[in-house]
Structure 1
Amino acid sequence: MVDRGASALSLPDDWPAHPDPILALNRMGSFDWDLDTGLFHMDAQAHEVFDLRPDEYDGFPASLLIRVPRAEAHRIDAVVAQAMKDGSENYGAYFRLRCRDGSLRWTHTQGYIRRDPTGRPRRIVGIVREATQELSELEARRDRAAQDEARRHRTSVVQLATAALAHARTVDDVIDVLRDTHGLTHLGATSLVFGLVEAGRIRMVAEGPEGSFVPGTDITRIDEPYPMSEVVRTLSPRFIESPEEFAERYPILWPHLTGLNISAAAYLPLIAEARPIGAMGLLYSDRRGFSPEDRNVLVALGSSIAQSLQRAMLFEQEKDLATGLQQAMLPRTIPSVPGADLAVRYRAATAGGSPGRDIGGDWYDLIPLPGGRVGAVIGDVQGHDTHAAAVMGQLRIVLRAYAAEGHPPATVMARASVFLHELDTDRFATCLYAEADLATGVVQVVRAGHIDPLIRHSDGSCRRVPVEGGLPLGLSAEFQRLEYPVATVELDPGHTLLLCTDGLVEQPGADLDDGMRTLAALIATGPQDVQDLADRLIDVVEDRRGDDDVALLLLRRRGLETPRSGGRLRQHVAPGDPEALAEARHMVRAAVAAWGARDRSDEIELVADELITNALMHTEGSAIVTLRAYTGSDRCLRVEVEDSSSALPRRREAGESGVSGRGLLLVDLLTDVWGVEARGGGKCVWCEFVMPELT
């Protein structure tokens, strides 16, 4: 008997062969694409196919764009996306890549899609291989049937170019597609010339290969004897089938082209809506003549290019209009504010599609106010279109007007909400308004559905400032909830207040609180200068390429070399609102310390608390507390409490067991002077305290 095991012992040690050397012998490389992480691993042979060194590839498909022309990349992406969408297990495609020496060569890829039990694609494995020789051999073996296929392929050039042009948004994009598209290179054109019709002239925007510029042709008249002028003038294509014909028909131009070895050319008018918008010329160095099929393909191609060019020109016009509208709605300049360093930034969205999506309703504003105060506004109107920008502009103006009229922050916000509700729009807006007294550092903040502000301290640490807010502007008026609580914070010298819209914070799939913590950490490690810090924050958004616009305002309080005179603070206190009462007390305490009246701090706080309590107890409405600092022969601090009652307070003696009646006695005893003023439908009880001179 023959021992079958003995023959097995005589086989080579490396039998059967590993797949890698087999692939290498066939000039094939393999890849493994993890769709979850985006990593695209290629073996050494695949690197050779793409003519890439290992240090030129970082493991992501985007790195291959240095070899794969943009139009080819779009086409392959479409093939892969369609295969994943329709449930296919594999796909295959030929494409061209540009080698290190600038030459183009054919490549073929075939991928196998791995899916999880739910059918979701998770991984693609496959091969890439050089296909130039393969395609050349197929071309050489073509028979009559292959020639018919070639005609069908030439017709598909229009479809391929149209598919690539569908991604072009600007005129430059159209030109890039024409230079790199698979269809034009397969037609064998050596170079491309491209011009736009502007005011009866043709302006050249792309002219052949490097070194082929023809002097005096960057701008030409339509009546001049050039081929592009002729096709624009006659609206008919011109096919030049030999150098002799070129020299005879265009003697002015031909001497400048003799060194390029041009043997034929096709010039096409680019016509949209029955008018010429440009012209294109394809120059060939390896052909003579054009078949009827070639001419039909080129004319169809010119029609497709004209449509894309018109779309791109309209896109650029609309984008310029939208950008101009956005810039007109934002403040032209930001006023300088004594005692503060300021920085503002606006970044438009980068969403694709309509150019109106590149703008939105985000805005900032800075409003100088009497008494050394300043109002800072940040807001965001719902939507990303020109309507949102228009609403934003109107809302910015009314907010500025209400603040300049001297209304307290809560009233400014409530009136703006009523204005937006009565405006002929269905949009609402989030907003944050901060009124800062730079002499004292006291900042009063109201918030309408907007994200909280942040404060960076002089040591670099950054914290989020929680502000109890009301409904967004427009909605609060619609639901009759116009109460906006006022938060009071202190901004010490060297501290920076940051207001921003959610485009700076929000990221797809991330929690808002996480985004705020990330932003706070970024600010803490950022530069001290507010301009540099603003640039860094916008750069981060640019790198992230978010699809939302961003508005940003930074206000850094400087230390004052000498005390500033004057100042005013105001707080609204509603009945039954202990938090508002506590905020009013905090405002008084902060102002007394900032205005140099610490020696009388207890007296001022006690009197202010008494006046506020009386207004809330003996009237049916709310109270408005105002603090003012005056300078002159004597420095004094004035406390005013307004209410809606016309009944004047009267001083009376309290009984031994009485719990009231002592309030005005305290006011009379502790203040230097006090009184009562009628204010329309109500009154104002005021008192003044002489403050000691600062040392």
Structure 2
Amino acid sequence: MTGHVLAFTGTALVAVYVLDAEGAELRLAETVRSAGRSYALPAHYPVSGRSPVADAFRAGHPLWLTPTELAAYGPAGPTTPETPTTPGVSLGALPLGGDGKGLGCLVVVDDAPGGIDADRRGFIELYAHHVAAGVEAAGPQALTQPKPELGPTLDRLRVGSFALLLDNGRMTADTQVLELFGIPGEGFDGRVETLLAVTVPDDVPALMTALEPDLLTFGTAQLEFRIRRPNGELRWLGLRARVETGADGTPRRMLGVVAETSYLRPSADEVSLVQRLSAALAGATTVRDVGRAVVGALRDPLGAGRVAVAELQADQLVVAVLTPAEPTAWPEVWRATWRSEWPEPPSHALPSLAEALRGRQISIWPEGADLEPGLAGIGPGGLAVLPLPADGRIVGVCLIGWERRHEFGPEERSLLTATAGLVGQALVRAHALDAEHELATMLQRSLLPRKLPELPGGVAVTRYLPATMGLEVGGDWYDVIPLPDGHVALVIGDVQGHSAAAATIMGQMRTAIRAYAVEGHPPDVVVAHANRLLVGMETDLFATCCYADLDMEEGEAWFVRAGHIQPLLRLPDGTTQELDVEGGP
């Protein structure tokens, strides 16, 4: 694979520099050089200093230098043991990561007295986009560790190039492109249709937009698509292409680079894990529910020793759930703030965590990383910090720590990225549900009887257990109303729905029935008046009710049932029987 990297770029040396955690230096992470060449590059470049790598990184666009231009930089360029600044060598420095990400730089060096030619520059610039995707998936912090855990980005990247002539639609492609598509070299006829034939049908329209001359748009094309190889294997490929124009501005040809991106995609097991987490979060109605769903979905499948989910409130981490729940299992800064059920450590006590939250990017530290004790103790074998985004801000953080050495892979990073987005949105949703649930609960409690009246010849007993979960607060109500002449009215009802609106209607219905009953109306009139009131509210909700007028002296009862379930009669021996009362289903 090393030979392929050099063959593709057509250079003597390819190197990747990544930005360190402090943003002060670009550190050499990977180098691939041809056999017999002793070129060497500095181990690091200060971002603020003057060097080809730092200048290209700060400018945000490629810097191509001829030997003469490179010599002006002095020892900042490639060297050999014999020559501090190697003559006759050209260099290209290409920043990695767009949209202000600033991941690092790709550097190529070649024996090219006249500079690296335009065609190679075009292909290398497209190649840099694929390298950037690999670096981002691997995590720049991991690549700069003394023992990188994620594997060389350059060696993993399988990439090829093609050129498409736009006047006749003919394509030339190198052997690596054909191998990626599963097409024998001798079987390629130079037609775009041959590539489209092995592309998954759902992805053909997007690929045609990028490659078909009639549909071509000016600028750079970028997309991922799937192909089906002859052996039935499904493979993800990434395309980066650029249109070149002639002197008159007419599109002349397209230069493109194709790379395999399957390694950036989560596996079937990881997709299943995300789906299970998504399903669990869909049913989470409180912040505590969200935390439990995350722990349940991630801890065992990832083999993690510790997991914590916390909200971010100002400078404070408000823990929703962590496991294990014993204070002795967590570092001192966590134990010191364990004043209630969960600890609430300030984020400024964990500088690396605070920096990760400010950067809004997932941070992964392998075994032996230089971290403060409050984080190192969570994951001595590896630690992942997931800022949880929602609505354009960071609402919380999830920490996943491994006790033993953990091998991080790019697929796992993709999994964690997907997880962070799901959990962040779930936290925001749970906050809203918590607030509405608290409001509805307070409203419901305020509208139900605070205490039951004393009754002549009997004792009223109630037990109120709404058959609801999470947010759902029902419109169920009951009342015990003393009436003249030794009578008492027992009322039970239910308003459709589980919301603050249902609780409000419930309160109005309870008040109305009590008022009509106290006025001395018979049971059927009380319920009829309440029904007219409900109709007059112009609400879409309906209500059911069962009204019983008990004569405590004679032991007789009159029932009116309006759509409610049948009442139950409890006998002296403790058994019950259902009464058959007309009135609704």
* Superposition TM-score tier, normalisation by shorter sequence: 0.3 to 0.5
TM-score, length basis structure 2: 0.47
Q: Which structure is larger by alpha-carbon Rg, 1 or 2? A: 1
